[in-house]
Chains A and B, each alone.
Chain A
C-alpha cells in the first residue's frame, strides 16, 4: 500500500488525526506526512474534513430521503446539465450521483420533516421538463453510515485463557 493510500485510510477513519500521529502510524517523518497531505489537498483528493453526526440522537427535527429520478438526457451533455442545475440551485441536496440500472440520478436530501421533502420534490424536481418521473424513499433508520456501525453494542468477549 502506498503512503498516500495509507494516510487516506487513517484520515478516513479519523479526520482529526494530527500530522504527528499520522506520521507515526504510517512510519514516515512529520515533513513527509505534511507534504503528502498538502499535495492531496491541492489535488482535491482530500476535498474536505467533516464530522460524522448521528442527527437522530439530537433534538433537531431531521429526515433524510433518497430520490430516484428518471431523466431525459439532454442533447450534447447527457445528464450533466440536469445534475448541475439541481446541485447548484438547491443547497439542501446532500449528494447527487449518476447511476446505472433502472433510473438515472440519485439525489439525497435532508429536510425538517417528510412534508418538507415531499413538497420539495413536488415543487422543484417534478416540474422540471427533463425529469420523467421521481420516486422518493425516506430513511427510517440508519444501521451503518460511512463505514461506522451506529448502534454497535458488541462487547469484547475475549479473556485470558492461559
Chain B
C-alpha cells in the first residue's frame, strides 16, 4: 500500500520533469497576458492552447483553462508571477513563433493568439486561420 503510494508519487514527479519547457522562439507571451492569466487561474490551473480543424479558414484556436497535463504537453512558465501555459506537441506545430496576448476590444475580452508566423490568412473573428502549407 505504502510502496504503491510512493510509486505513484514518484511517477508523478517523473512525468512532471519530462515536460519540456517552451523556448522564447516557440511561444511568446505578452506581459498583459501573463498578468491577466495569474488573475483568472484557480489553484493548479494552466492556460491550454490547442489547434483543431474547423472554423472558416480550416484551423481554429481553442484556448481554455485546464488542470490536466498530458505526457506530450510542453510547458511555459512566467518568470514574473509563475503563471503557466501548456501546449501539446501537435498544436505547437501550428503555433511555433506565435504570441499569446490578452485583448480587450468591443467584440470580446479574451486571450488571443496573434502574430502566428504559420498562419497565412485569418477569419475576421480571429478564431480561425489557414496555415501556409508545404
| A and B associate in one complex | no
A interface residues, Cβ below 8 angstroms from B: none
